[in-house]
Structure 1
Amino acid sequence: MKPIIVGTRGSKLALTQTNHVIEQLLNKHHDTKLEVRVIRTDGDLKPEVPTANLGLGIFVKEIEEALLNGDIDMAVHSLKDLPSTLPNGLSLGAFCRRGDPRDAFISSSNLSLARLSAGSRIGTSSPRRSSLLLSQRPDIEIKPLRGNVESRLMKIKGPDYDGTVLAVAGLQRLGLGDVITEYLPPERFVPAPGQGAIVIETRKDNHDLYGLLRSIDDPATRCSVTAERNFLEKLGSGCQIPAGAYAHINDNILIMHAMLCSLDGQSMFSTKWSGPASKPREVAMKTFERLVEMGALDVIEDIEIS
């Protein structure tokens, strides 16, 4: 039997997530042969360049090209790395059950965000995290910080940083949950769309894989992140606009929190909307419309002009 080639980035987290997907598939399909192929992306090759300067899809473009060329059969991604619009010919075949969607604050002095002294230096290159941090603590300094999870944790132990913000799910998957100083509530520190979710991307014409992937698809995760990605699509942005969206299901009701923020954190628009879990796109649309009514689009225009 010809093995199924699984494409992934080469970081420890990416490989951990890929191995998790493979384990799930083998538990359901014992005779399936899967082979991992590591692909270096533009975001991996330029770790010191700010993400805003690299454009959209910096962690997935080369992997998607390999999919379209037939070099790999499927790809495992952190969903938040995927732009809201996929290349023609590709589709999302399965969403694994979501991990913890929250952000974590990690302090080198083990102090919570509220207890940090004025002037503390927090490392992040995420516009969303930077804006949210400044909205809650305008007296701190934001310093650029990129790299894989391990390298960022190592850097905050040095003299240049007092803390950072990372995804809880990634830390937990790497067995690093004990470094977390504070779990940031998703209603106030709204996560990136898709944060905590692992997705498998395939070619639309690879029908043989559909049944295989359907066995590990989690409907609740698919519903929640579909709403979040539809919200992102309405914004027409990737990770460059300080925006967050988080949806979850409670008794067949989809509850969505969303926010837009200025780069300096001083103009914050946030809202909440709920609707039937069977209509994630409608919930996303209503949430977006609420923000528009509040005047949030002015924030986007100001960022684009600057």
Structure 2
Amino acid sequence: MQTVAPKDMLRIGTRASVLAMAQAHEARARLMAAHGLPEEAFVIEPITTTGDRIQDRPLSEAGGKGLFTKELEEALLDGRIDIAVHSSKDMPTILPDGLELSSFLPREDPRDTFIGRAAPTIEALPHGATVGSSSLRRQALIRRMRPDLKVIVYRGNVQTRLRKLDEGVAAGTILALAGLKRTGLEHIATDVMPLDKFPPAPGQGAICIESRSDDAATRAMVEAINHRPTAVALACERAFLAALDGSCRMPIAGHAVVDGDRLSFHGMILSVDGREAHEIVREGAASDAAQIGRNAGDTLRAKVGPGFFDGWG
């Protein structure tokens, strides 16, 4: 059996959650297949992030997207790990100097799911029922669909959220279909939300790999597993988010689809209470992905005016 010296192992950093570990294992498996390497050529390093530790308040009050990436990026910069595997929707639009997103894995289904106890769908919930979610986007979309519902902050891993449902803390919650599929829990979904009515967060369903900009050998290694259609779609979605100065302090949805050399994009921004929503649809050449996303964001920002963003942190 081929042996690998510790100095030759690629160190993969990841959050320690069940889903994050599954994503790291997928990245490792793709790297093994692409380069004909054994499993022992890689070591997975679980790292607890600030976002994992904060469970008592909304992340929007604690600093936004970077809470799930800060410690991983610090480990990259000081050389403790060689790459970091992330959920793309957790990534800030501006990365620390010296780091880059060097690869995207093929995107899983980007839709959200409803897991209901009192009813199988949001539409069928009793009047005034409670729905739990930690995402401002999901909270706003729920309120847009059903203004009568009570929406509460609802954090924790999947198992914790399911336990809260069983304890009656909420009648239902929203989870990403991609995460359920990657952890073998797709069967717990009682409804899959349509993209037009419940658009996803930019980057939802896509795993990305972050590496050091000056590490050419590692970049070449991970670029071998880059899925170009996903990378192009994410370039559009992340440009849209950046144009809106997006973070998890804002209810923003965006989803791009690449078909050959063409790209279509649907974006939405909402007020926190869900009463006001503005949508935009754009199409164009896939080679113009970032420009399409940026223009869509700029157009929406100009349309709603600065007052729409007041109070979003």
- Letter of the aligned partner of 1:97 in structure 2? P
Q: Following the alignment from structure 2 to structure 1, what is the Cα–Cα distance between the partners of residues 182 and 17?
A: 13
Specify which of 79, 86, 103 is matched with residue 77 of structure 1.
86
Q: Is the contact made by 2:77 and 2:98 (CA closer than 8 Å) also made in structure 1?
A: yes
Deviation at 1:110, TM superposition (A): 4.0
Q: Deviations over 1:154-211 (max 9, x none)?
A: 2112211100011110011111111111111122211111000000100001111122
Residue pairs, 1:1-306, within 5 angstroms: 1=5, 2-31=8-37, 33-56=41-64, 57-295=66-304, 297-304=306-313
Shift of 1:135: 0.6
CA shift, 1:303, in A, is 3.0
How far, CA to CA, are the matches of 2:223 and 2:72 in structure 1? 21
Distance 1:110 1:174 in 2: 24
> Which deviates the most, 248-257 or 139-148?
248-257
Q: Structure 1, residues 26-73: CA drift from partner, whole Å, max 9, x if none?
A: 011123611011111001112223211221311110010000001111
| Alpha-carbon distance in structure 2 between the residues aligned to 1:92 and 1:256 | 21
Q: Deviations over 1:256-306 (max 9, x none)?
A: 1111111111111111111111111121123123323532643212434xx
**Structure 2 unaligned spans of 5+:** none
The CA deviation string for residues 69-113 of structure 1, in whole angstroms up to 9 with x for no partner, is: 011111100011111110000011110000011111110134211
Structure 1 residue runs of 5 or longer lacking an equivalent are none
Equivalent residue letter for 1:36: I
TM-score normalised by structure 1 residue count: 0.96
Q: Whole-Å Cα distance in 2 between the matches of residues 252 and 293 of structure 1?
A: 29
| Distance of 2:87 and 2:305 partners within structure 1 | 27
Aligned residues: 304
- Indicate how the Cα distance of structure 1 residues 130 and 52 shifts in structure 2: closer, same or farther if over 3 A, else same: same
Deviating above 3 A after TM superposition, structure 1's stretches of 4 or more consecutive aligned residues are none
Root-mean-square deviation (Å):
1.3
Give the SS at the match of 1:156: helix
What's the % identity of the aligned pairs? 36
8 Å CA contact 1:260, 1:296 repeated in 2: no
CA contact (8 A) 2:49 2:70 kept: yes
Q: Which amino acid aligns with 2:256?
A: A
Rounded Cα–Cα distance in structure 2 between residues aligned with 1:110 and 1:265? 22
CA contact (8 A) 1:273 1:286 kept: no
Give distance in 2, aligned partners of 1:80 and 1:224.
Answer: 13
In structure 2, how many angstroms separate the alpha carbons of the residues matched to 1:216 and 1:251?
Answer: 19
Deviations 1:90-140 (A, max 9, x none): 011110000011111110134211111111100011111000100110000
Contact 1:66–1:72 (CA<8 Å) still a contact in 2? yes
Name the stretch that deviates more: 188-197 or 149-158: 149-158
1 CA distance for matches of 2:198 and 2:35?
A: 39
Q: 1:268 to 1:21 in 2, by over 3 A?
A: same
Deviations 1:196-230 (A, max 9, x none): 00001000011111221111100000000111001
The change in CA–CA distance for 1:296 and 1:245 in structure 2 (over 3 A counts) is: farther
